[in-house]
Amino acid sequence: MKKVFLRQSLQNVFTLNISPINYSSFPIQQNFLDLKYTERYILLMKKNEPNKAERTRQFIIEKAAPIFNKKGIAGTSLSDLTNATGLTKGSIYGNFKDKDEVAVCVFKYNVDNLISYLTLAVDSETTFTRKLLAIPRAYRKLYHTMIDYGGCPILNTAAEADDTHQVLCRMTVNAIETMKKAITGLIENGKQSGELNDRTDTAKMTEVMICLIEGGSLLSKVTGEDTFMMNSLEQIEQLILSAATAI
């Protein structure tokens, strides 16, 4: 239960509507459920294998991701996308309605990657205190890669989309709220298990942690001084340890 808590919370940033599999759609004569497990698995994999259009969309998203994160929506041009992908304008707009749609898909891709990285770090720990400590440790390891990538995608998008892009603004708010929910859950479970002092102010601790991460990231990116982020992460660790009764 501990291992899946953060993953389940974070993955609620985006809700996917998945329809039940229609087994009758498989081009075979015999009952699909009568097949051996390995045969069913192979057929499912073939059924779910992305087609050429889907692969092209994913290729564009992956190539466009660092560009949008560094330049923003307004600063990214169609020429930037064609240069990065090697595709024509027609190919890009044949797969996406417009630049806004590319930006939305890129944001989801960037956040999904960040979520996967943090989830892996948290899931590798066995106690709630260590799970909380895994968050600043993960950001410390990721820091230089994130700076090279243009900074935190949530912070970057939030700053630009606040008054200019309603869909992306809502997505960034959802991402932040879900991060709050995940950290809150870890703190509350830590208090219930006796690992954290039961007088710990959960809401305050959660918000301070997020502010230190995003604020430290922003100031380090703008000034080029790593100390803003490193000191912020150290303060998060001290905050967690000061509330801990056991590690």
Number of domains in the chain: 1
Do the domain assignments include residue 68? Answer: yes
Do the domain assignments include residue 38? Answer: no
The pLDDT of residue 16 is 36
Cα Dmax for the chain:
65
Greater pLDDT, 35 or 86: 86
For residue 186, what are the CA distances in angstroms to 5, 173, 192, 246? 8, 20, 10, 14
Do the domain assignments include residue 27? Answer: no
Greater pLDDT, 213 or 36: 213
pLDDT at residue 28 greater than cutoff 70: no
In the chain, the amino acid numbered 221 is: K
Do the domain assignments include residue 61? Answer: yes
pLDDT at residue 109 greater than cutoff 80: yes
Structural domain boundaries enclosing 213 = 46-243
pLDDT at residue 12 greater than cutoff 50: no
Do the domain assignments include residue 135? Answer: yes
47 falls in which pLDDT band (50, 70, 90)? Answer: low
Name which of 164, 119, 108 is nearest 8 in CA terms: 119
CB within 8 Å of 106: residues ≥ 6 apart: 61, 64, 65, 68, 69
The pLDDT of residue 14 is 39
* Residue appearing with tokens 């590798």: 124
For residue 46, what are the CA distances in angstroms to 2, 17, 28? 34, 20, 13
Q: How far apart are the first and last CA of the chain?
A: 19
For the chain, the average pLDDT equals: 84
Do the domain assignments include residue 112? Answer: yes
CB within 8 Å of 143: residues ≥ 6 apart: 217, 220, 226, 229, 230
What pLDDT digit, counting tens, does each position of 117-138 carry? 999 999 999 999 999 999 999 9
The pLDDT of residue 27 is 42
In DSSP terms, 196 is beta-bridged to 244
pLDDT at residue 54 greater than cutoff 90: no
Do the domain assignments include residue 22? Answer: no
- Is residue 222 within 8 Å of residue 155, measured between CB atoms? no
* Residue appearing with tokens 């993953």: 7
pTM, whole model, 2 decimals?
0.76
- The sign of the dihedral angle between the CA atoms of 66, 166, 216, 115 is negative
Neighbours of 26 (CB within 10 A): 16
In DSSP terms, 244 is beta-bridged to 196
Q: Is 196 helix (H, G, I), strand (E, B) or coil?
A: strand
- The sign of the dihedral angle between the CA atoms of 25, 51, 109, 129 is positive
Q: For residue 159, what is the domain's CATH number?
A: 1.10.357.10
What pLDDT digit, counting tens, does each position of 141-155 carry? 999 999 999 999 999
What pLDDT digit, counting tens, does each position of 60-72 carry? 999 999 999 999 9
Name which of 123, 126, 147 is nearest 135 in CA terms: 123
Counts of helices then strands in the chain (DSSP H, E): 11, 0
The pLDDT of residue 43 is 54
Neighbours of 206 (CB within 10 A): 20
Name which of 155, 154, 162, 147 is nearest 107 in CA terms: 154
